[in-house]
Amino acid sequence: MKSRLIKMSGIASLCLAAAGVWAAGAVSMNVPGSTDAAGRRVLTFIAKDPPGVRCNGNLQVAAELANTYRVPIQLIPSSLAPDLPAPSVFYGNQMLAADGRDHNGAVSFQMVSDVLDVEDVPRQAKEGLLFNNNVRRNLDGLKDSIRSGGK
């Protein structure tokens, strides 16, 4: 009984600590179109004009997320959001990554997926083709090419 109580209090402490980090790290900014007509938060990717490696990588992450989650996604060039850092990624008005700040503007599928799972964003009934082995191999090749600057 005592060991079970200690485990439960340890888990509770861990959850509170994680929630505190989440709240302390959360930055909110005024993002155009941060919610859709139904009131759902929109996942916003802001890219530099012209896009660079981080922007292109973020757009690949956006494709992977659309393949898995039913979440509204918008891609905005920095010229249409001059007050926001680029590249950057927001869920609603909450900043997930931004140039010169968290993750220096680059996100991964897992990073955004964790946020969407915590927020109970519904998944697609059936994942799209990006996780098909042949398509995935081509996508990974494209991503490698982007990272290496086309070399």
Q: Domain residues for 72?
A: 29-147
* pLDDT exceeds cutoff 80 at 96: yes
The pTM of the full predicted model, rounded to 2 decimals, is 0.71
* pLDDT exceeds cutoff 70 at 93: yes
Q: What does the DSSP assignment read for 99-138? A: TTSGGGG---HHHHHHHHHHTTPPBPSS--GGGSHHHHHH
Domain membership of residue 36 (yes or no) is yes
Give the CA count within 13 Å in the CB-facing half-sphere of 71.
30
pLDDT in tens, 42-72: 999 999 987 777 888 899 899 999 999 999 9
Domain membership of residue 3 (yes or no) is no
**Whole-number Å distance between alpha carbons of 27 and 41:** 15
Domain membership of residue 107 (yes or no) is yes
**Whole-number Å distance between alpha carbons of 142 and 19:** 36
User: How many of the other CB atoms lie within 10 Å of CB of 92?
Assistant: 15
> Stretch 73-81: mean pLDDT, rounded?
93
Buried b (16+ CB within 10 A) or exposed e, 33-68: ebeeeeeebbbbbbbbeebeebbbbbbbbbebbbbb
Whole-number pLDDT of residue 128: 81
pLDDT in tens, 25-45: 566 778 988 899 999 999 999
Domain membership of residue 60 (yes or no) is yes
> Stretch 80-107: mean pLDDT, rounded?
92
Domain membership of residue 99 (yes or no) is yes
Domain membership of residue 10 (yes or no) is no
Sorted by sequence, the CB contacts under 8 Å of residue 126 that are 6+ apart come out as none
CATH number for the domain spanning 67: value is: 3.40.30
Count of domains in the chain?
Answer: 1
pLDDT band at 19 (very low <50, low <70, confident <90, very high): very low
